[in-house]
């Protein structure tokens, strides 16, 4: 059974997400768009001789959702669905099902979690502007207070007054450090864009963290040598990578045992970012993965980890990953995370050249 050409037009061949039309208990593939071809790694003609559930390992809730949509003709949405592809990639995806009466079939849309991060980027831009404004408004009076304390010191003789002035000075320094951290949210835009070998950046970052920590943590590097140079601000990208590796190191150290961090580069298809203008990027085919075998992210914060002031560390400020997200967005890319006990993967997705930077 195949889908008539008139219906293919209705389903929009060029939609920026993977889309299939499925039929029957075994989810026979009637049609697949170009994005679906990239995700599966097979042409639509080849896919149409197979069943979707034979190509992709669906978790029980996704299988139940398909049956419910087929039986009740009602839509089903699963926001964080772990799906394993035939090349053993496991990804958290948005899983949308809609019933098509004309075909008595189910339309299945898979959308990368990365493509849903745009609202976080907008929130981070607003937080950046607020951070800069607050830093400016706080630093001016803080300088005045600090100056007044210095003027008072020669005239203060009692032990209690000297102690109080010391307390005021210490609090001024603490507030200044806090303001500096707030201001970093607005200072990480790439400014010096050059051709960068991302493998050299990753190697240097691994060397820095190995020298600094080096307590039972092994680094493994798995790079695709065919990847070309990227257009990036090398110093800013180095900061982003260091922050992610540091996060992995601290997660492993919290477990009290040694561990391994794996740095990987590869091609990845099927992911696009929507620009502020609403236009979709041509694609984000370059993927950088930082994988650790630590305890994993707490479930309560997993979906909010890139938002400012969200942290899984007891003494964390919740700004490190927010800054990383802003850096990657400034390079026209996206960042996503998959985490379970024993495995956490941070994935940076970047464009070639300046395509994604607007």
- pLDDT score recorded for residue 333: 87
- Write down the pTM of the prediction: 0.54
Rounded alpha-carbon distances, angstroms, from residue 111 to 64, 184, 308, 329, 346: 19, 32, 24, 19, 18
Q: Which fold has domain 193-350?
A: Heat Shock Protein 90 (3.30.565)
- pLDDT score recorded for residue 188: 53
Lowest mean pLDDT among 34-38, 42-46, 239-243, 335-339: 34-38
Report the C-alpha gap between 155 and 137 in whole angstroms.
Answer: 30
Compute φ and ψ for 224, nearest 5 degrees: -85, 110
Beta strands in the chain (DSSP E): 18-23, 28-32, 56-57, 76-85, 90-100, 105-112, 193-196, 217-222, 230-233, 259-267, 286-292, 334-340, 343-350
Domain boundaries, the chain: 5-115, 118-186, 193-350
**What angle (nearest 5°) sits at the alpha carbon of residue 38, between those of residues 32 and 42?**
70
CATH homologous superfamily for 5-115? PAS domain (3.30.450.20)
149: Cβ contacts below 8 Å, ≥ 6 apart: 165, 168, 169, 172
Q: Which residue has the tokens 């540091």?
A: 246
Is residue 217 pLDDT above 80, yes or no?
yes
Report the C-alpha gap between 345 and 349 in whole angstroms.
Answer: 13
Question: Can 5-115 and 193-350 be said to share one CATH topology?
Answer: no
pLDDT tens, residue by residue, 104-150 = 788 888 876 554 444 455 555 555 666 666 676 777 788 888 888 88
Kindly give the pairing relationship between strand 90-100 and strand 76-85: antiparallel
Rounded alpha-carbon distances, angstroms, from residue 248 to 39, 72, 120, 125: 28, 45, 22, 25
Return the number of other C-beta atoms located less than 10 Å from residue 258's C-beta: 12
Closest CA to 339 of 251, 274, 273, 276: 251
Query: Where does the pLDDT of residue 152 fall: very low under 50, low under 70, confident under 90, or very high at 90 and above?
Result: confident
Rounded alpha-carbon distances, angstroms, from residue 23 to 96, 111, 182: 15, 20, 52
pLDDT, mean of residues 291-306: 81
- pLDDT score recorded for residue 221: 94
């Amino acid at each position: 059974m195949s889908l008539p050409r008139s219906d293919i037009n209705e389903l929009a061949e060029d939609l920026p997400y993977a889309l299939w039309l499925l039929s029957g208990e075994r989810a026979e593939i009637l049609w697949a768009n170009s994005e679906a071809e990239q995700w599966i790694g097979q042409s639509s003609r080849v896919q149409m001789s197979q069943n979707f559930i034979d190509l992709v390992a669906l978790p029980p809730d996704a299988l139940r959702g398909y049956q419910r949509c087929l039986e009740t003709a009602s839509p089903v949405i699963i926001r964080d669905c772990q799906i394993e592809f035939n090349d053993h990639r496991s990804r958290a995806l948005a899983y949308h099902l809609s019933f098509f009466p004309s075909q008595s079939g189910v339309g299945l849309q898979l959308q990368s979690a990365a493509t849903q991060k745009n609202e976080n980027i907008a929130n981070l831009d607003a937080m950046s502007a607020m951070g800069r404004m607050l830093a400016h408004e706080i630093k001016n009076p803080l300088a005045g207070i600090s100056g007044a304390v210095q003027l008072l010191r020669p005239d203060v003789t009692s032990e209690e007054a000297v102690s109080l002035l010391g307390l005021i000075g210490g609090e001024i320094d603490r507030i200044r450090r806090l303001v500096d951290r707030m201001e970093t949210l607005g200072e990480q835009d790439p400014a010096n864009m050059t051709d960068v070998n991302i493998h050299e950046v990753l190697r240097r970052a691994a060397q820095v963290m190995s020298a600094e920590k080096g307590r039972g943590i092994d680094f493994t590097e798995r790079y695709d040598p065919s990847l070309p140079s990227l257009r990036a601000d090398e110093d800013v990208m180095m900061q982003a990578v260091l922050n992610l590796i540091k996060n992995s190191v601290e997660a492993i150290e919290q477990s009290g045992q040694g561990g391994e961090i794996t740095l990987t580069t590869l091609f990845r298809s099927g992911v696009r970012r929507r620009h502020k203008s609403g236009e979709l990027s041509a694609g984000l085919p370059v993927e950088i993965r930082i994988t650790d075998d630590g305890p994993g992210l707490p479930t309560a914060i997993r979906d909010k980890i890139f938002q400012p002031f969200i942290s899984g560390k007891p003494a964390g400020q919740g700004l490190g990953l927010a800054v990383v997200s802003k850096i990657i967005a400034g390079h026209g890319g996206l960042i996503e995370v998959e985490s379970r006990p024993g495995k956490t993967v941070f994935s940076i997705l970047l464009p070639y050249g300046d395509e994604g930077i607007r």
